[in-house]
Structure 1
Amino acid sequence: MDYRLEVLVIPVGDVDRAKTFYQGLGWREDADFATGEDFRVIQMTPPGSPTAVIFGKGITSAAPGSAQDMMLVVDDIEAARTDLTDRGIPVSGVFHDAGGVFHHAGTEARVDGAAPGRQSYGSFVSFADPDGNGWVVQEVTTRLPGR
């Protein structure tokens, strides 16, 4: 049985502000449906991704901004940071983790600069949407076996 991750629900406080933000990232709008004043769902997909995000009104009880460490993957972390900056998105500098395996929660153990030797899976940048939902962008240049 295959289980494909296709949609993540993210909690936002202002649906139109969130929609404008994600459009500004260049994400494709897949749907914007409302069935009344208490229910609206917007689905958007990052370029090149098979997984979309959904946000809106009446679709989650999670607090706006409570989704953290959602991961986007790119081939070139420097180019991704430049793209985000060019779009007006406040983004961290490129960093790697002091432990060298994965990034710690929050900003703990962040070391400025790309991973030594630009090791695949080791370099990151981070940004947040207007509600504070946190995104981490990870550079993957060579996939691990079976991935």
Structure 2
Amino acid sequence: MDWTLEVVIVPVGDIDRAVAFYRDQVGFELDHDTRTEHMHVVQLTPRGSGCSIVIGDLPAQNEMAPGSLRGLQLVVADAAAARDELLSRGVEASEITVFDERDGGTFFGFADPDGNTWAVQQIRARGEKPLIPLEARGRFGEGREV
């Protein structure tokens, strides 16, 4: 039986501010933004990822304090290009650190407006062989343009 991690709840203090950050500055795809009189829940997915983040105000989403999530990890094919992209969109990012010259040993980090932290790891092989093939991307695999 496969067990897949598909959603991580990110605790934020201001949902609209977090959506603007993750969508407009970091570049995550907005999957849905659902508001009713009882709740506001948003799902965003990093391009090429099989796992999304969810932010919202349901009781289970409010169990963690805003900004308390540490070390979520993203993977990119080119750390320098990814860092430059974030910087150009106004995201403060740490300098690139090479812990190991082998593929997978290069990292940098950033934080969202609430202080949740992200590590970005370079794995060059992802550029040639992405985990989610282009034709399978999009919500439920309908092949969204990238």
Return the TM-score normalized by structure 2.
0.79
Match of 2:104 among 96, 121, 143: 121
Report the Cα offset of residue 6 of structure 1: 0.6
Aligned sequence identity (%): 43
**Structure 2 residue identity aligned to 1:40:** H
1:1-147 correspondence to structure 2 within 5 Å:
1-24=1-24, 25-37=26-38, 39-58=39-58, 59-97=61-99, 115-116=100-101, 119-142=102-125
Question: Could you say what secondary structure the match of 2:27 adopts?
Answer: coil
- 1:75-103, Cα deviation, whole Å (9 max, x unpaired): 11111111111111000010134xxxxxx
- Are the equivalent residues in 2 in contact too, given 1:9–1:60 (CA < 8 A)? no
TM-score where L is the length of structure 1: 0.79
Is 1:11–1:62's contact at 8 Å kept on the other side of the alignment? yes
Show structure 1 runs of 4+ deviating over 6 A.
none
Gaps of 5+ in 1: 98-114
Q: Let me know the Cα RMSD of the aligned residues.
A: 1.6
Query: 1:142, 1:27 → 2: CA distance?
Result: 21
Output the CA distance in 2 between the equivalents of 1:68 and 1:44: 18
Q: Which runs of 5+ in 2 are unaligned?
A: 132-146
